[in-house]
Structure 1
Amino acid sequence: MTEEIAIGIDLGTSYSCVSIATSEGALVVPNEWGELNHASVVSFLPDGSVAVGNAAKRNIVSDPTNTVSSSKRLIGRFFFSEEVSKARALMPYALVEGPNNSVRIAVRDLILSIPEVSALVLKEMKAIVESHLGHEVTKAVITCPAYFNDNQRQATKDAGRIAGLDVLRIINEPTAAALAYGFGRDISQRIAVYDLGGGTFDISILEIGKDVFEVLSTGGDTYLGGDDFDQRVMAWLTDDFLAKTGLDLRQNKWCLAMLNEAAEKAKIECGRQGWADIHIAGICQDANGNVLDLTNRLTTEHFNRMVMDLVQRTFKVCDEALQSARLTASSIDAVILVGGPTRLPVIRESVKHYFGREPMEGIDPEQVVSMGAALQARALSSADASTYLLDVTPLPLRIATVGGFTETILDKNTPVPIERSKVFTTGRDGQERVKIRVLQGENPKADGCESLGEFEFSGFRVAGRGEVQIEVTFEIDTNGIVNVRACDLETGNATGTRISLSSGLSEGEILDGIERNRQIRRAGGA
């Protein structure tokens, strides 16, 4: 009987990658054109089909309002959040409010949730492997930033389900990179994984020994990545053009799309050769109808100055992660760089200076995460796999208390899976229900944390204040997803408990997303 292959998917903000694993190691699977890295872009075409990946990225300039990029920055977020407000100002496609303050993307005649868009990218990764192997695959491990909260993790899992995948586990990106680094090597090391992607930054400190990978601590910033470097270059270009011509390119979505493409290209070229000449022909017209070009030169020195504060933000997170692990930078035996932006000399030199050692060579920063995910997928689906992964929760789990404050239930960097119980009592005579707000975050105030849901318990005996005891059990599973159950200690029953999580899509929305996903045709496909 042929062993069923489970795939590993690095679902990135800018690019995604997919791998499979055997007992010999992991293999990054190319698409039909031999490409290993695939743009996390979905373009919705006039005929109702979609283009996904590098082909879709070419439509960002020609059809920006119907081409969705960097949507991972929005997954699991609320419409009123600061991050979504930033995206609405920058993204050329339309963001609208959905049920329960969720974010929806409006393209053509469709209103899609963020997990539905991510599902189209995941479905493309699935199709790439199926074309390579010649048969269907249904099981996968999907990666996410280590600092993703419960809402974002649940939304990522929802995306996998919509794409037709049985998601074996959601695994942190830095942890996946460590798995790929340590696979098959008889080493005992403390390593730091510095993961700067297109939209997020994570740092994880791990201890590796005898096929056991233990995460000691993790930290991150879910709105700091290569996209922010691009936006600095864009801001410089638009400010300079405004000073020269009096025209503000920010007012036109097509101009912004061209600027974004030119900024990303300039960033990469500057990193490779020390400078980049930028030329955008016919970017706009002046008041007299004259067609204007944008021309400029970006040097390494100028680029480094404009992004150095972003680089320094990553090391503040590194400080916190090392402190949480009770280590110093000199305690680290190896440093692994993950994510395309870590190819930039300013990043590599800054990391070398911070840790006092050269980052590891020979590890592809854009492929190592999917390789590690594939190794974990095999470990979860194969009886003879012997790799053990011990991860931690990235954020504290809290409940709201009086006065707008919170009480910590589970601390940050607590090993997972874990469950912890707390007994609540009625706060007044004759009380018929108890309501508890569950939050996630590091701020001791409720309004500074992410709301996971509101839990209402009813159906217990109506009695005097403090006489009824309800035990609430909080669990964080191996995916980092929060689950809650409740029990009336007097009767032992959990009946009458209503749990209303705000994270993820409802079951009905997931089923609707699955159906829409089936109906959307791949461009050039059946």
Structure 2
Amino acid sequence: MSELILGIDLGTTNSAVGAVESGFPILLADAEGRRITPSAVWFGADGSVEVGRKSLRRRASEPGRVITSIKRLMGRRHGEETEFCVPMERAADGGVAVLGRSPEEVSAEILRELKGIAEFRLGRTAEKAVITVPAYFNDAQRAATKRAGEIAGLEVVRIVSEPTAAALAYGLDKLGERSRVAVYDLGGGTFDLSVLEMQDGVFQVLATRGDTRLGGDDLDATLARHCMEDFDSLDPAAKVRLLAEAERVKCALSDRESEIFRAPFYDGALSLEKEVTRADLEKLAKPLIARTLTCCRQALADANVAAADLDAVVLVGGSTRIPAVRGAVADLFGREPDLSQHPDEAVALGATIQAGVLAGTLRKMVLLDVTPLSLGIETFGGLMNVLIPRNTTIPCKAGEMFTNAAAGQASMRLRVLQGEREMARDNWELGNFDVPFEPAPKGQARVGVQFRIDENGILEVLARDVTTGLDTVVEIRSAAVNVDDEAVEKMVGESVEFAFEDMAERIFTEAKMKAEELLPAVEQALAEAGDLVSADERGEIEAAAAAVKDALAAGLPNPLKAAVQRLDKATEAFAAALVEKAMMDALERRL
């Protein structure tokens, strides 16, 4: 019997599990015959736990004990998320806790339920899984997802981005030898648009954009507020009832032109009944849809692909059933989207196909994701030194050699940064650690730094003292920043907006460091061996040095860079004479 690896879509609103049986990828149904499991968990006061539909039925009576959309808190720090369905607490490690549990522990309950469904249907133990995450999940969020799987008793053999998994489900590898597709994924809580290229059996994500706080849940809340102006002032139980009815009405309006929003005794006394038309819903949905279309345009621009160059556009996620969404996508891309797969099941099916590939039960196919933002370290002068540029295909690794900035230095602080700005202070710090090395004169110590991102998108930083061969290895698992799409969009936008100012500051900083190194060296050399240059050469060197000092005082980048280059050129012959004199002196001492 072949190895069993489950394919799991761990969604914000709903989740699903599948496996390859007899060579075919299938999604597995629970005891009630349903393949979709709500991502909801109820924790009883006595310690009992219920997952899925059973827990949702308890929301009206115990709203404070039912957790939904836990995916929004995965890998986040306390304070980064301001609203949630139950009160949030600060965990000992600075993360978030709800009802005394970490987001990983809550997610693990959902994964245990899915694991149980699979074992019930297949009649054997499941110990390994492929789990999907949104394309914009950062390193900490991916690592948290992997930990949740481990808590649930699963070895997570691969983390796969949801749009990439969806591409597998749609069979986009069969379009031709080389094809480009867009995957529009609008689920309950997240949105992603990815542009993928398939070539020679390899899926490569050319670019991806999205929003980890945009989905059908937001439209439900908007519709509930439309029907009940005082929605935000209601108690939690009343809100739950209105949101559940809003979701029902939203789904009904995908098939009908109008529907009655009914909420009898929603607060125990008052009832609500209001007609909602499809036109009303489309008006409410318009701003949310517009936000997704902005991401689409940005992803196409990042991939340098025109809509007309795409071979297919596919829709994923339950919210893509809304006619207004389908119409907007068709208008933007100039083609009708592919609706051949069940939108709620496509991601789980793709995860199952990938699980089958890893288990050896399906034809091998390679999935390649990309880094959403550049990764690098801070260097002397507060500069951002990029090691892995944005949109680099993963898995990948890159390295560079660095040296000590001061004589006798015995260690250096490595700040791992993520972002697109030229100066370190304007980027996000993912972590920092000290790298010890043998003390040496300025510029003589050598430390090699290597970044490696594995197939799950988790970053490992290795720093090596070249002299001793001693390695310092750190796995970045708890980023202290919020890298959702809104923040990514802001970072990229600011890198464009401040491009000239940033580059000017970088040029000035680099020239200033060079000037501060060159000026004392030139002055000392002139004082000790000024007889090696002619009066004219000395005059040019002194004039060039004065120009550097003036440019430094003026604080202007390009004049300073030009003045430093002039001084560098003016001292070339002098430097050569100094080297020749030093060699002659050494030869005489040897004789």
What TM-score range do you get, normalising by the shorter chain? 0.7 to 0.9
Matched, 1:235 2:225: yes
Aligned to 1:42: 41
Number of residues of Structure 1 aligned to a counterpart in Structure 2: 479
Shift of 1:166: 0.8
Aligned to 1:115: 104
Aligned to 2:443: 466
Provide the secondary structure at the position in 2 that maps to 1:335.
strand
Aligned to 1:15: 14
Match of 1:151 among 118, 140, 147: 140
Matches within 5 A, 1:380-459: 380-382=358-360, 385-400=363-378, 406-442=384-420, 450-458=428-436
Query: Is 2:460–2:473's contact at 8 Å kept on the other side of the alignment?
Result: no
Query: Is 1:454–1:499's contact at 8 Å kept on the other side of the alignment?
Result: no
Aligned to 1:366: 344
Percent of aligned positions with the same letter in both sequences?
40
Shifted more, 22-31 versus 403-412: the winner is: 403-412
Query: Is 1:231–1:263's contact at 8 Å kept on the other side of the alignment?
Result: yes
State TM-score, norm by structure 1: 0.86
State the distance in 1 between where 2:234 and 2:337 align: 42
1:264–1:466 distance in 2 versus 1, CA, 3 Å: farther
1:447–1:68 distance in 2 versus 1, CA, 3 Å: farther
Provide the secondary structure at the position in 1 that maps to 2:255.
helix
State TM-score, norm by structure 2: 0.76
Letter in 1 for 2:98: I
1:336–1:298 distance in 2 versus 1, CA, 3 Å: same
Provide the secondary structure at the position in 2 that maps to 1:27.
strand
Letter in 1 for 2:70: S
State the distance in 1 between where 2:15 and 2:421 align: 32
Aligned to 2:260: 277
Matches within 5 A, 1:116-131: 116-131=105-120
Matched, 1:166 2:166: no
Shifted more, 181-190 versus 116-125: the winner is: 181-190
Shifted more, 58-67 versus 351-360: the winner is: 58-67
State the distance in 2 between where 1:272 and 1:31 align: 27
Matched, 1:220 2:210: yes
1:465–1:184 distance in 2 versus 1, CA, 3 Å: closer
Query: Is 1:238–1:250's contact at 8 Å kept on the other side of the alignment?
Result: no
Matches within 5 A, 1:64-143: 64-81=63-80, 84-85=81-82, 87-88=83-84, 91=85, 93-106=86-99, 111-143=100-132
Deviations 1:393-433 (A, max 9, x none): 23322334678764432122211111001223333344333
Query: Is 2:143–2:477's contact at 8 Å kept on the other side of the alignment?
Result: no
State the distance in 2 between where 1:27 and 1:500 align: 35
Aligned to 2:31: 32
Provide the secondary structure at the position in 2 that maps to 1:342.
helix
Matched, 1:321 2:299: yes
Matched, 1:187 2:176: yes
Shift of 1:329: 0.7
Deviations 1:119-150 (A, max 9, x none): 11111111111000111011110000011110
Query: Is 1:219–1:321's contact at 8 Å kept on the other side of the alignment?
Result: yes
State the distance in 2 between where 1:441 and 1:307 align: 32
Provide the secondary structure at the position in 1 that maps to 2:98.
strand
Deviations 1:57-97 (A, max 9, x none): 2222221110000110111111122xx11x24xx2x12111
State the distance in 1 between where 2:342 and 2:154 align: 26
Provide the secondary structure at the position in 1 that maps to 2:267.
strand
State the distance in 1 between where 2:224 and 2:416 align: 39
Gaps spanning 5+ residues in structure 2: where? 481-591
1:199–1:402 distance in 2 versus 1, CA, 3 Å: farther
Provide the secondary structure at the position in 2 that maps to 1:115.
helix
Letter in 2 for 1:363: Q
Matched, 1:250 2:233: yes
Aligned to 2:485: none
Letter in 2 for 1:195: D
Shift of 1:437: 2.1
State the distance in 2 between where 1:238 and 1:345 align: 24
Aligned to 1:204: 194
State the distance in 1 between where 2:365 and 2:299 align: 24
1:423–1:61 distance in 2 versus 1, CA, 3 Å: farther
Query: Is 1:150–1:452's contact at 8 Å kept on the other side of the alignment?
Result: no
Cα RMSD (Å) of the superposition?
2.3
1:176–1:258 distance in 2 versus 1, CA, 3 Å: same
Query: Is 2:448–2:466's contact at 8 Å kept on the other side of the alignment?
Result: yes
1:405–1:70 distance in 2 versus 1, CA, 3 Å: farther
Shifted more, 374-383 versus 192-201: the winner is: 374-383
Gaps spanning 5+ residues in structure 1: where? 243-247, 286-290, 506-526
Aligned to 2:517: none
State the distance in 2 between where 1:407 and 1:148 align: 23
Query: Is 2:353–2:362's contact at 8 Å kept on the other side of the alignment?
Result: no
Provide the secondary structure at the position in 2 that maps to 1:219.
strand
Provide the secondary structure at the position in 2 that maps to 1:284.
coil
Comparing both structures, which one devotes a greater share of its residues to strand? 1
State the distance in 2 between where 1:411 and 1:191 align: 23
Matched, 1:503 2:481: no
Shifted more, 202-211 versus 43-52: the winner is: 202-211
Provide the secondary structure at the position in 2 that maps to 1:99.
coil
Aligned to 1:517: none
Letter in 2 for 1:207: E
Deviations 1:15-41 (A, max 9, x none): 001111246431011011100111000
State the distance in 2 between where 1:295 and 1:309 align: 25
Shift of 1:292: 1.9
State the distance in 2 between where 1:122 and 1:44 align: 15
Deviations 1:35-61 (A, max 9, x none): 011100001124422111122122222
State the distance in 2 between where 1:17 and 1:329 align: 31
State the distance in 2 between where 1:448 and 1:303 align: 40
Deviations 1:324-344 (A, max 9, x none): 221101111111100010111
Deviations 1:229-258 (A, max 9, x none): 12212332342xx4xxxxx65252222222
Comparing both structures, which one devotes a greater share of its residues to helix? 2
Provide the secondary structure at the position in 1 that maps to 2:109.
helix
Matches within 5 A, 1:293-308: 293-308=271-286
Shift of 1:223: 1.5
1:140–1:465 distance in 2 versus 1, CA, 3 Å: same
Shifted more, 348-357 versus 377-386: the winner is: 377-386
Deviations 1:185-218 (A, max 9, x none): 4634321110111111111112234533232222
Provide the secondary structure at the position in 2 that maps to 1:130.
helix
1:358–1:227 distance in 2 versus 1, CA, 3 Å: same
Query: Is 1:30–1:128's contact at 8 Å kept on the other side of the alignment?
Result: yes
Shifted more, 391-400 versus 69-78: the winner is: 391-400
Query: Is 2:40–2:69's contact at 8 Å kept on the other side of the alignment?
Result: yes
Provide the secondary structure at the position in 2 that maps to 1:273.
coil
Letter in 1 for 2:463: A
